[in-house]
Amino acid sequence: MIKAKRHWLRICGLSLMLPFAAAQADDGATPQGSTLCTKIPIPCDAVIAHRGASYQAPESTRPAYLLARDLGVDYLELDLQRTKDGVLVAVHDNTLGRNTDVAEVFPDRADAPVSSFTLDELKQLDAGSWFNASYPERARDSYSGLEILTLDEVIDIAENGDNHPGLYIETKVPEQFPGIEQDLRDKLEARGWLGDAAKTRPAAEGGAVKVGDGPGRLVMQTFSKASLEALEQTMPEVPRVLLLWLGEGGIEAAPSEPQAEDESSADYYARQQVASPEAFRSWLDFAKDHGAIGIGPSAVQTEHDGPFSSQFSYMELAEPWMIGMAHDDGMLVHLYTVDEPADFERYRQRGVDGFFTNRAEQLLTFYGHPAQDQEAILERHGY
């Protein structure tokens, strides 16, 4: 019910009666979420399932996306790459060693980029067993042998449940894939997610989530300024978000001591600082000048020493003044990648508009949705 209500508010355009942004807090942040989401067709308090429900199932695989969809997330997040034979696929890393058995199947190509494999070759890989080995407490026999998914297959998942989530698509290492933005547009048009066909998409009948049926069904995200420009050219009508990173290739960082041998990456990232407010400002300006509707900054996770979250605890790019600066520019703030309730609370107090999360079930609960039985959902789908 709660979910249905917040979508109804958006659909009914109540935003027109609301102020542009909530009153500013003394520290420059907008308290408890801005109202920008009522002006932009993106859900307020957006729940973005980072590589699917990737705490409970292997990232970017079928059970991860099915679980996220059925839990009721607003968006399925995916990292887009292209195979050697031109097929769009959902893979995060540039190489396949971390989460497939590529070293066994193609021993001479264990470090080769994803782009050098055909779809047929990628489909020979096991993208699930690594998860069972890394997280035995969440392992399932049925995860062994899971396939890498094509974009088409992720779209099928988004379309074929009671809930209709949107897609939040990142162009990953786009410099390796010239023209991938146009390929993506062509695919999305062919699937009826863009263009004329999108105007007559059938609405979800059963589920509470209807993001996939509305104008916010797609969000494009990228760390690359060049790709943001390409997305602006190829998909001007699609909401776009510039992801933010501190350091090489990103916002200028203040000088800092190198990472110590016994220092975790999470601790190292957590002590990095922007060089100046102007350095941060310049990336916001670029985003705004190129029509982005928001930014995606990184976050520090409080429990970043845990076995899973340590992979996703990054630099603090969501200090109150940074969020305030983005909101003042009329841009949403979607934070990556946050999994723990204490961190949801801390950043929501600062006014962020949504989170990328591996733990969709925890974020949905935090936002007031009833808890669901993840085991039952996975079992219903044969996992």
On the 0-12 / 13-18 / 19+ scale of CB atoms within 10 A, 134 is middle
Q: Sign (positive/negative) of CA torsion 340, 346, 347, 351?
A: positive
Q: Which of 45, 170, 340, 361 binds Ca ion (CB under 5 A)?
A: 170
**92 an active-site residue?**
yes
On the 0-12 / 13-18 / 19+ scale of CB atoms within 10 A, 307 is exposed
x/- site string to Ca ion, residues 21 to 60, per CB under 5 A?
----------------------------------------
Q: Which does 41 bind (CB under 5 to 8 A by kind): Ca ion, ligand G3P, none?
A: none
The number of helices, as runs of H, and strands, as runs of E, in the chain is: 14, 10
Q: Which of 74, 79, 126, 316 binds Ca ion (CB under 5 A)?
A: 79
Residue nearest to ligand G3P (CB): 336
CA distance 163 to 161: 5
At closest approach, how far in Å is the CB of 311 from ligand G3P? 9
At closest approach, how far in Å is the CB of 30 from ligand G3P? 21
Q: How far is CA 174 from CA 132, 144, 219, in A?
A: 30, 30, 16
At closest approach, how far in Å is the CB of 205 from ligand G3P? 30
Q: Which does 243 bind (CB under 5 to 8 A by kind): Ca ion, ligand G3P, none?
A: ligand G3P
Q: 121 vs 170, which CB is nearer to Ca ion?
A: 170
Q: 7 vs 217, which CB is nearer to ligand G3P?
A: 217
At closest approach, how far in Å is the CB of 348 from ligand G3P? 18
Residue nearest to Ca ion (CB): 170
CA distance 77 to 170: 8
- What does the block give as tokens for 255? 């000088």
SS3 133: helix
Residues marked as catalytic: 50, 92
